[in-house]
Amino acid sequence: GAVVSQHPSWVICKSGTSVKIECRSLDFQATTMFWYRQFPKQSLMLMATSNEGSKATYEQGVEKDKFLINHASLTLSTLTVTSAHPEDSSFYICSALGLEGPYEQYFGPGTRLTVT
Amino acid sequence: AQKVTQAQTEISVVEKEDVTLDCVYETRDTTYYLFWYKQPPSGELVFLIRRNSFDEQNEISGRYSWNFQKSTSSFNFTITASQVVDSAVYFCALTGSSYKLIFGSGTRLLVRP
């Protein structure tokens, strides 16, 4: 089946630094990937839609300059949290859209970010 | 706008009890897909089922069953003879023409031995 990986699985960084999270589709090509954020005991909230070769589309309220998304290839999208603050601590999950349509969305295992 | 409502925040049952998780959705799309996911403490989402808007057939998979009713915009999930391993957070989700997946707030299920 389709597999999506994320790296790292967890990361701790200091306030003010930047951290990059990778999302890879391992056995299929994904022109569209999504990034979600999940705070403790809350639901997943879509942050942005990442399209290969074009700019990401951000959801309302998500700071484009803070959460930089790059989808440089058909198998890799990256999310960079710039100038991280403790309130950015969260669980970040990516998903990749399969070629079959909107019902084929494969999720990565998530990255837990802690900003100290 | 699309919306998914899971009114049950937490449910606690004793092992072997049946439990139903409710999901109500709103959408203007005529073609849409509904999903259920399980999120164990590890955090990784586990896909359980997908149903498209044109298929109202109920589905059973082992101890799991799903009841899709367009007339009430509901897509409920029942676990029969619950087990401790069923303890997790369960999310109902919806996607339509935008391809964006909209999640409900989740229901935390605790199955006690």
Nearest CB neighbour to A44, from listed B42, B44, B103:
B103
What single-letter amino acid sits at B91?
F
Residues of B with CB under 8 A from a CB of A: 33, 42-45, 47, 50, 52, 91, 95-96, 99-106, 108
Model confidence over B7-38: pLDDT tens digits?
999 999 999 999 999 999 999 999 999 999 99
| Subunit contact A103:B100, Cβ cutoff 8 A | no
Query: Chain A to chain B, count of Cβ pairs less than 8 Å apart?
Result: 46
Residue A20 has pLDDT above 70, yes or no: yes
Residue A25 has pLDDT above 70, yes or no: yes
d(CA B29, CA A54): 26
**In whole angstroms, how far apart are CA B106 and each of A103, B3, B88, B97?**
20, 13, 10, 23
Q: Quick check: A92 and A7 in contact, CB under 8 A?
A: no
When scoring B101, B102, B107 by the number of chain A Cβ atoms within 10 A, the one with the most, hence best to mutate, is B101
The DSSP secondary-structure symbol of B15 reads T
Burial tier of A104 (Cβ tally within 10 Å: 0-12, 13-18, 19+): middle
Listed as ranges, residues in chain B with pLDDT below 50 are none
Q: How far is B75 from chain A (nearest CA, A)?
A: 16
**pLDDT tier at A112, thresholds 50, 70, 90:** very high
Residue A102 has pLDDT above 80, yes or no: no
- Residue B6 CB contacts under 8 Å (≥ 6 apart), including other chains: B21, B22, B23, B90, B91, B92, B104, B105, B106, B107
Sequential DSSP letters for B66-106? EEEEGGGTEEEEEESS--GGG-EEEEEEEE-TT-PEEE---
| Percentage of residues of chain A with pLDDT beyond 90 | 76
Residue in chain B closest to A112 (alpha carbons) equals B43
Burial tier of B10 (Cβ tally within 10 Å: 0-12, 13-18, 19+): exposed
Residue B72, CB half-sphere, CA atoms under 13 Å: how many?
A: 9
pLDDT, position B99: 82
